[in-house]
Amino acid sequence: MQVLFINAGAKSSGATQQILLTAQNALVPDVTSQVICLGERNIGFCKGCMSCYETGTCAQRDEMESLMDAIDAAQVLVIAAPSYWADVPGQFKVFIDRCTVYGDTNPHPSHRALRSGKVCYAFALRAGKRPMECEHIIGTIAYWCGHMNIQLGGSMYF
Ligand SMILES: Cc1cc2nc3c(=O)[nH]c(=O)nc-3n(C[C@H](O)[C@H](O)[C@H](O)COP(=O)(O)O)c2cc1C
């Protein structure tokens, strides 16, 4: 089994990364896993050109495709997102927007979609105390899962 831990924050030196590394350390030995940080990937923002609806692929060439290869290779995803202004960090939103190629709203008959059967666990964290912001972030991850044919296995916030 492969587990992909996605740090949806800006950096791999903060609390988000620590939470994911702690979860990774708890895995049984025969599970392969890696932790990636979206903020350290070169992923350009969606230009809204909608050419992916016409062609089934994105016009931009950056790290998005290799990232989706890693996501598709995993059976389990763990996404952790910190609160930035009571919402997901910008690079995570950029990533979600770029998933317009892969999601179930893309009408192109041969657009790339993820293999079925994946499960995602969602973590959210923030500096403040009230849970509302974290619930919103988990809702965003759940919405993404819904359109990517991924089952939300559970969620937790810090
Ligand atoms: C740009 C920015 C905006 C933030 N906005 C909020 C916020 O609205 N609410 C909150 O509770 N924490 C906010 N925080 C704090 C982060 O959620 C918190 O420090 C978190 O640990 C950051 O993750 P990291 O340590 O992995 O970078 C913000 C942090 C940054 C950098």
- ∠ CA 136-9-70, nearest 5°, is 105
pLDDT digits (tens, 9 = 90+) for 82-138: 999 999 999 999 999 999 999 999 999 999 999 999 999 999 999 999 999 999 999
Mutate to test the pocket of ligand 1, among 7, 18, 84 (most ligand atoms within 8 A of CB): 84
In angstroms, what is the span from residue 25 Cα to ligand 1's centroid?
24
Looking only at the bridges linking them, the beta strands covering 2-7 and 76-82 are parallel
Looking only at the bridges linking them, the beta strands covering 32-37 and 2-7 are parallel
In angstroms, what is the span from residue 57 Cα to ligand 1's centroid?
33
Segment 132-147 shows an average pLDDT of 98
DSSP code, position 87: B
Instruction: Give me the residue spans of the domains in the chain.
Output: 2-157
CB of 133 sitting under 6 A from ligand 1 = yes
- pTM attached to this predicted model: 0.97
In angstroms, what is the span from residue 24 Cα to ligand 1's centroid?
22
Overall CATH class of domain 2-157: alpha beta
State residue 21's pLDDT score: 98
Task: Give CA–CA dist 111/156, Å, rounded.
Answer: 32
Q: Specify whether the CB–CB gap between 3 and 78 falls below 8 A.
A: yes
CB of 84 sitting under 6 A from ligand 1 = yes
**4 — pLDDT class (breaks 50, 70, 90):** very high
pLDDT digits (tens, 9 = 90+) for 28-57: 989 999 999 999 999 999 999 999 999 999
State residue 36's pLDDT score: 98
In angstroms, what is the span from residue 139 Cα to ligand 1's centroid?
17
